[in-house]
Structure 1
Amino acid sequence: MLYPQNIEQKLGFDRIRERLSELCISPLGRAFVEKIRFSDNYDLVQKMIRQVDEMKDIMQFEPQAFPSQNYLDVNYQLSKAAIEGAFLSEEEFFDLKLSLRTIQECLRFFDNKEPEQYPQLRELLGTAFQNRSDKNQEEVIPQKDPKLEIRGILDALDKIIDDRGKLKDNASSELQAIRRRLLVQENDLRKKLDSILRNARSNGWITDDFSLTLRNGRMVIPLAAEHKRKIKGFVHDESDTGKTVFLEPTEVLEANNEIRELESAERREIIRILMELTARLRPQVPTLKRAYTFLGIIDFVRAKACYAVELEAIAPLSVNSQIVDWKNARHPILLASFKKAGKSVVPLSITLDSENRILLISGPNAGGKSVTLKTLGLIQYMYQCGLLVPMAEYSTIGIFRNIFIDIGDEQSLENDLSTYSSHLTNMKHFLVHSDRKTLFLIDEFGTGTEPTLGGAIAESILEDLNRSGAYGAINTHYTNLKVFADRTSGLINGAMRYDAEHLEPLYELEIGKPGSSFAIEIAYKIGLPKSVIDRSKNKIGKQQVSFEKLVKELEIEKKVFADKNVENAQKQRQLDQLLEQYQSLKKFLDTEKKTILNTAKIQAKELVKTANQKIEATIKEIREQGADKLVTKEVRQDLQDFQEALVVEKIAVANSPAKEEQEKDVVEVIGGDIIVGSLVRIKGQEALGEVLAIRGKDAEVAIGDLKTTIKTNRLERVSKKEFKQKTSPKAKLTGIDMNEKIQNFSFNLDLRGKRGEEALVDVDRFMNDAIMVGYDELRIVHGKGDGILRTLIRQHLRGYKQVAKMEDEHADRGGAGVTIVRMR
């Protein structure tokens, strides 16, 4: 049950119906728009919703594959064809041909899809084209496949009607022969008349701009009136001024008569063909009418799908029970009008369930309370009329049997009803008919009469509505109703949020607490005298003032804490990123440390192993030579040289831990004696050092921080330049100061005036810093111009997997000249 009768006008559904009519291609679809009705049949609503959802997918993902024209209404032609002896004209058959082709394209579209694709639309198609049984017979009468019948009719039309809507020459052999003879006669006639016309022009009887024309279906020549007797013939017409006559020469009279006879024969043959074609069509009229019903439904469903695409509407999760659990719902009409103006609608999130069935909404005037009620009523009404609704995917919507609304002023002079009387009349209907499957919406509950009495009556009505188990939403300013809702099971307070500091509405619904009317604060803002406001405070009493003050303070505190929560959440994200980077770096350093230590141990083992082998070989050689002094001295000298080499290698390893640093270029040596202070290199080694002292053939050399004694004949001098080059300390890797990086990072990048390559380098640097510091929204200013730089930047940004979305800035803040980048 719906209440009142004009509920569609009150909710604004009549404007949605108008928009759907505009989106329909033909009167076939518009006829179904007029038949839209509210339904509480859950299965029927689900079927309609799924049909629209499937068509929406087609419109979004393969619109070119689905026919979008020639949805023609030919029901009149079909009714005419059903009459025995009647026949359709060429134009009527042409409309039939075009629309049947559209139907065939629809059928072909679904035939080319997998069976599991678009099941609801396939079921709709099957219902329209299934074979019908004779109700007077016990058995089903075998019939042809309706799809094949339509294809046969279309083939027959294609053979006879051309793409201009005329009968083809080969529609019959007789028609072809007549038109061939007619063409020959017309050509002969034209040649004769052209000859007469040239002769008349040469004699000056007509001007050069005169040419052959038709009068009364006969071909004639125009002739100046004063020369009409110069040529024998019949005058068929004259100009308005009487200066020109249209004359049929005597010598072409028979030719014109022959042409007229052939034209009559052509018309008779055309009528015969059309009657024959109509007779062939007549038995298929019932099948064709079902096919055009299907075409109308497809046009209707297509219009609903196009409207859903406009609104970004969806098919939310639906349950066969009474529930409202909507996230980010938007008023459809506001959404469409705001889109045109470049504005955005503040979304509504609302929940009504078995525990909190009735929502009592309070707050200041012009804060969005009435819009909230209309959004709730209109979206629920839309859904139960089979339309997709604008809300988030994770919403849940239920089914109601009754929708009652009391919105707007219903005072009536004819029935002598005041505003308050009309409200009470509505409340009477609500109380009598409300049950657990009812959704009611009441705007400005209890107003229109003395506030104390109005509030008391409203509280009593609310008590009975709660007892009925109905679901609903109520707007009110009455404090007693807010208190009642707070202490009564089944009711819950809600408030339209308000910026208490700047006294501006936020149009956001907050469920769980009552709102303030902010009457005192708004009076201050408007500029009422302070004395008047102070007296009003005294009149309403301290309790009411304290309540309003408390609500205002809570609103301010909530805003402050909400801002703090956003700030803390951002800092927490930054800390998490820093911790992740620290742990990653620590893991890397630990791994590198283990690798270096293992490498050093292996090298040390190899050195020890080599040294032991050398010692053992030396001892063996001394023994084999019989401990000869000369040989022993030479062997010891070799051992000492080997020891020095180990020391040098050890120094080289200590000073060059990385393998890459050991692979140096060849050091350039210079000539000269080795003296104290010489810069030297050990022959065959990369280690460089400085000579500290000379003791005979031995030299004390400082290699880095180590000192060693080496034979002078194993040293060679190098230049100061070479020494500095090879021993200068390498630049050390430094870490990144994340605190400094975060403090100095700007989320805004201005690229105006830069060339493409230069801009992309800046974008890469900007994106790397943004990813490092963890910003979730960036702003790139590139200007509008021809859009080349914008296109280049956006194509480049698509290569970043961290980028979730790109869009233009708001029109007031740069529009298409600024790209907003939202990160994952």
Structure 2
Amino acid sequence: MIYPNTFENKIGFNEIRTLLRERCLSSLGKEEIDKITFMDDMKAINTQLARVREFRKLQEEAEDFPISYFFDVRQSVARLRLEGTHLEEDELFDLRRSMGTICDIVAYLNRCDEDEASISQDGWKHEPVYPYPALHELADGVMTYPQILQRIDQILDKFGKIRDTASPELNNIRRELAKTEGSISRTLYSILRSAQSEGLIEKDVTPAMRDGRLVIPIVPTMKRKIKGIVHDESASGKTLFVEPTEVVEANNRVRELEAEERREIIRILNEIAKTIRPHVPQILASYKLLAQIDMIRAKAELAKLIGGIEPEVGKYPLIDWIEATHPLLRLSLEKQGKKVVPLEIMLTRNKRMLIISGPNAGGKSVCLKTVGLLQYMLQCGLSIPVSERSKAGIFQNILIDIGDEQSIEDDLSTYSSHLTNMKNMMKSANDRTLILIDEFGTGTEPQIGGAIAEAVLKQFCIKKAYGVITTHYQNLKHFADSHEGVVNGAMLYDRHQMQALFQLQIGQPGSSFAIEIARKIGLPEQVIHDASEIVGSDYIQSDKYLQDIVRDKRYWESKRQTIHQREKQMEQTISKYESELTDLEKSRKEVLAKAKERAEELFKESNKKIENVIREIREKQAEKEETKKLRDSLKDFKEGIADIDKQAEDDKIARKMAQILRRKDNKNKRKKEKEEKATDATSLQNSTITQTQNSKFKEGDTVRIKGTTTVGTIESIQDKNVVVIFGGLRSTTVIKKIEHATPPKKEEPRPYMTVGKQTRETIDSKKLNFKQDLDVRGMRGEEALNAVMYFIDDATLVGMSRVRILHGTGTGILRQLIRQYLATVPAVTSYKDEHVQFGGAGITVVDLG
């Protein structure tokens, strides 16, 4: 039994309805909001909640859901049922856009994850799976008319105006109309310029439009100077609007063409109306989908605003809410920068009736209204602000008695109105009723009021009704101790700070803190003392005991929560450490595996390289000492790898890996030193080197270029350069690039045989990779000279006859230094500037002999 107007006003549901209406996109959704009613069908409620839940999910997952053009054109469409009627351009445009939105919504919600005709291996046909099944149910069966939309698009442009191409006749009319208007405009401007040149009209005057005709504004004194028809004058009377005689006929023709255009447009609109008319009932029905989607969207937006969720609703009465808040109070406090205190409340079969006591302004009424509003919202298919862990059920009816309901017309006092409500509640209550009563039993003499309230409460218990009741009466507080299914609850109060905590605690009754509040307000102590004597020491003492019980319960509840939090934190810490240990063990094994794998790779690589060197040494008859040294190094490396598996601890592994890496670095360092001395295996024969780099050279000395094995003889020495004969090849190079060498053995058959294979390969490689241009731009003088020296040497070595040095123009210093050096090089026969077309003085061309 619900009295919507009274109930919704008292619990604040009308404000919720207003919030929903504000979030609608059109009057379609607002109408649906106004139709929201209380439901007691579990399936219907869960369906409504599921649609809101799915729409919120859809908003998070998709950005292309169509929510534009929610136009309500139902009246215009309904008018089309009458023959001879049509829609105007703007109405047709709104119809096209809104029907397009319906078509897009239906297509979106009918998407499925599986093919409708998919057949599994067992031969059974599977139903399609829709991402949003509850919303799909709304769209299923809704008719859309893409052909009508296509036809409207052929008639209307993107701005909603009739296209010129809507019909051939309209196209011809508009073409002639544009031509006539252009002719009028040219004639008017011609008359206007002529009048301006004669001084009849001001220079800044332009043609104007009056009654759909082009006219010229003139002053009244000049109206006889220009022949024509006066159509209008300004409000001040200082300007007349004259239509010159020359354009009167043309303007008349414009009017005729506009009338023809309008007739043709109406004909076109009538034609499209004939196409739409047979489908009017289905089109009107399809707008139900648009209205439902608008309403569901508004519900989803409200849920975001109040922090609501959509719990699964059970079949039987149940309230098990965690962190429940009054949505309107929450919004109000958030505007003030405050937070609402959440409630935890439970009504079950074993604890159906909750008696809440506590001080005034402690939150009892707010708790009562929170229960009423949230349960009503839930059974209207709206989200409610509770925790995800909350559970909810369904009540058949909700009965409420809140506030002063005295009636002058019915001659009812406050108490009489309360008794009338009690009578109706007892008549209608059953085991699926939720009863909400504020200040139960007040309005009359306390003793008899408390007695009647207790008797009524007993009837509620007999009918096994559910309820939340607030009271200050002691007999009602004691009622819970002697009756099954009734439980006490207290709104907590801080006795030290003398302020309400707005927290509901179920299990013990609450004190009214009347003495403490009176003392805080400032009543004389004598008055408080007299009141205490009047009520009796037993009552005062029992009230204090009650306060102490509440205080102690708060203390131990706080301790319990603290212990619970500590235990939870400890469990989380233990779990974290166990996870970290598992990860560490896994990581350690991975490190060992990678280290072993890397070491094996190093071993294979090093073994291969060392064996290659040994083979070359053996082929070239190297000393056994070197071979033995390399084999010992290989043995040490193998032993280092074999020890990895034996090292369990991370520090030992790290030390072993560092040792292996050091050995690798040392080996690479030795290899690099050997490569600097010689690139061929015969470089290991140190006995072939007889003198160091710092020794002096003289003509006839046997030398070789560093890094090669080819032996030659010095022919001549000039400053820092030297000419060396290698077999039959004469080469000029820098002294610091050669070194003394042992003369070749006499049994060598011919001089050209002293040119080793590797030397020839080196020369061939240099020749292949040699570039004839050297770019020294941006280098310092010394750096550039060094680069030029090596470049000329390499050019001479590979037998180049001409090279180019790019030094740029700049100040000319770099060019001068380079040419001074080239003048000292015997291999250089000449040098000169490049041709102007190819760089001129910025490039030096060098010819080599």
Q: Tell me whether the two structures share a fold, i.e. TM-score over 0.5.
A: yes
User: Could you say which residue in structure 1 is the equivalent of 2:189?
Assistant: 194
Q: Cα distance 1:516–1:83, how it changes in 2: closer, same or farther (>3 A)?
A: same
What one-letter code is carried by the residue in structure 1 that aligns with 2:52?
A: V
Cα distance in 2 for residues equivalent to 1:388 and 1:302: 12
Asked if residue 167 in structure 1 is aligned to residue 162 in structure 2, the reply is yes
More moved, 243-252 vs 92-101? 243-252
| 1:74 lines up with 2:69 in the alignment | no
Distance 1:403 1:570, change over 3 A: closer
Partner AA of 2:281 in structure 1 = P
Are 2:43 and 1:48 aligned?
A: no
- SS at 2:487 equivalent: strand
Aligned counterpart for 1:340 among listed residues 325, 335, 344: 335
SS in 2 for 1:334: helix
2:139 alignment partner in structure 1: 125
3-state SS in 1 of match to 2:352? strand
Shift of 1:324: 1.1
Is 1:216–2:230 an aligned residue pair?
no
Give 2:88's aligned amino acid: S
SS in 1 for 2:436: strand
Change in Cα spacing, 1:583 to 1:436, as seen in structure 2 (3 Å) is closer
Paired residues of 2:102 and 2:286 also in contact (CA < 8 A): yes
- Cα separation, partners in 2 of 1:463 and 1:589, compared to 1, 3 Å: closer
The one-letter amino acid of 2:297's match is R
Give, in angstroms, the shift of residue 112 of structure 1.
4.2
Letter in 1 for 2:7: I
CA contact (8 A) 1:316 1:392 kept: no
CA shift in 2, pair 1:202/1:367, >3 Å: same
State the 1:469 CA deviation.
Answer: 1.0
**Once the 2 structures are TM-superposed, how far is the Cα of residue 21 of structure 1 from its aligned partner?**
1.0
SS of 1:65 mapped into structure 2? coil
Letter in 2 for 1:167: I
User: SS state of the match for residue 297, structure 1?
Assistant: helix
CA distance in structure 2 between the aligned counterparts of 1:588 and 1:203, rounded to whole angstroms = 100
CA distance in 2, matches of 1:585, 1:33: 54
1:83 aligns with 2:82: yes
Conservation of the 8 A alpha-carbon contact between 2:42 and 2:313: no
SS at 2:243's partner residue?
Answer: strand
1:573 CA drift (Å): 7.2
Q: Which consecutive residues of structure 1, in runs of 5 or more, have no partner in the other structure?
A: 130-145, 591-655, 667-824
Aligned residues, how many?
583
**Counterparts of 1:95 and 1:3 in 2: how far apart (Å)?**
39
What is the aligned partner in structure 2 of residue 98 from structure 1? 97
Distance 1:551 1:181, change over 3 A: same
CA–CA distance in structure 1, aligned partners of residues 558 and 229 of structure 2: 99
Partner residue in 1 for 2:38: 38
- Residue matched to 1:9: 9
> Are 1:471 and 2:470 matched, yes or no?
no
- Deviation of 1:4 after TM superposition, in Å, equals 7.5
Look up the match of 1:234. Answer: 229
Deviation track 1:556-610 (CA, whole Å, cap 9, x = no partner) reads 22333344446656766787799899999999999xxxxxxxxxxxxxxxxxxxx
Q: Which residue of 2 aligns with 1:525?
A: 520
Shift of 1:529: 2.4
| In the alignment, structure 1 residue 58 sits paired with structure 2 residue 53 | no
Question: C-alpha separation between the residues in 2 aligned to 1:589 and 1:41?
Answer: 56
Question: Structure 1 residues 125 and 111 mapped into 2: Cα distance closer, same or farther (>3 Å)?
Answer: closer
Match of 1:362 among 354, 357, 362: 357
**Amino acid paired to 2:554:** K
Secondary structure at the counterpart of residue 217 of structure 2: strand
Distance 2:396 2:561 in 1: 42
CA contact (8 A) 2:45 2:313 kept: no
- TM-score, structure 1 normalization: 0.67
- In the alignment, which residue of structure 2 is the partner of 1:512? 507
In structure 2, the gaps of 5 or more residues are 114-128, 586-650, 664-849
Q: CA deviation at 1:415?
A: 1.4
Q: Identity over the aligned pairs, expressed in percent?
A: 47
In structure 2, the residue matched to 1:542 is 537
Q: CA deviation at 1:85?
A: 0.9
Q: Which structure has the larger Rg?
A: 2
| SS of equivalent residue, structure 1 residue 72 | coil
Q: Is this contact kept in 2: 1:3–1:403, CA < 8 A? A: no
Contact 2:231–2:242 at 8 Å: present in 1 too?
A: yes
Alpha-carbon distance in 1 for matches of 2:382, 2:401 = 24
Compared CA separation, residues 477 and 191, structure 1 to 2 (3 A): same
Given candidates 427, 430, 446, the residue that maps to 1:432 is 427
Q: Alpha-carbon deviations, 1:343-390, whole Å to 9, x = none?
A: 221111111111111111111111111111111111111111111111
- Structure 1 residue 285: Cα displacement: 0.7
Matching of residues 633-644 of structure 1 within 5 Å: none
CA distance in 2 between partners of 1:585 and 1:173 (Å): 80
Q: 1:342 to 1:95 in 2, by over 3 A?
A: same
| Aligned twin of 2:400 | 405
| Larger deviation, residues 164-173 vs 103-112 | 103-112
Alpha-carbon displacement from aligned partner over 1:412-454 (angstroms, at most 9, x marks no partner) = 1221211111111110111111111111011001111111111
Q: Is the 8 A contact 2:106 2:140 kept in 1?
A: no
Deviation per CA, 1:686-740: give whole Å up to 9, x if none: xxxxxxxxxxxxxxxxxxxxxxxxxxxxxxxxxxxxxxxxxxxxxxxxxxxxxxx
Distance 1:663 1:98 in 2: 76
Match of 1:417 in 2: 412
Residues 193, 585 of structure 1: CA spacing in aligned structure 2 closer, same or farther, 3 A cutoff? closer
* Contact 2:40 2:379 (8 Å CA) reproduced: yes
Name the CA shift for 1:585/1:322 in 2 (closer, same or farther; >3 Å): closer
Counterpart of 1:302 in structure 2 is 297
In 2, the alpha carbon distance for the partners of 1:571 and 1:295 equals 52
Q: 2:130 aligned to 116, 120, 125, which one?
A: 116
Checking the alignment, whether the CA contact within 8 Å between 2:109 and 2:139 is kept in structure 1 is no
Cα distance in structure 1, aligned partners of 2:377 and 2:58: 21
Distance 1:170 1:367, change over 3 A: same
Whether the 8 Å CA contact 2:130–2:136 is kept in 1: the answer is no
* Secondary structure, aligned partner of 2:140: helix
Secondary structure at 1:195 match in 2: helix
1:375 corresponds, among 370, 383, 391, to 370
Aligned equivalents of 1:375 and 1:204: distance in 2? Answer: 83
Amino acid in the other structure paired with 2:161:
K
CA-based RMSD: 2.9
Q: With the length of structure 2 as denominator, give the TM-score of the two structures.
A: 0.65
